[in-house]
Amino acid sequence: MTIRTACAAAALATSFAFLPAGAFAQDRAPTADETAQISAALTAKGYTSWGKIEMDDGKWEVDNAVGADGKRYDVDLDTSFAVTKAELDN
pLDDT digits (tens, 9 = 90+) for 4-32: 544 444 444 444 444 454 454 569 999 99
pLDDT band at residue 90 using 50, 70 and 90 as cut-offs:
confident
Residue 34 three-state SS: helix
In whole angstroms, give the CA distance from residue 38 to residue 81: 6
Domains of the chain by residue range: 27-88
Q: What is the mean pLDDT of residues 27-55?
A: 97
pLDDT band at residue 3 using 50, 70 and 90 as cut-offs:
low
Per-residue burial over 12-24, b = 16 or more CB atoms within 10 Å of its CB, e = otherwise: eeeeeeeeeeeee
In whole angstroms, give the CA distance from residue 31 to residue 67: 24
Confidence (pLDDT) at 6: 45
Phi/psi at 27 (5° precision): -65, 155
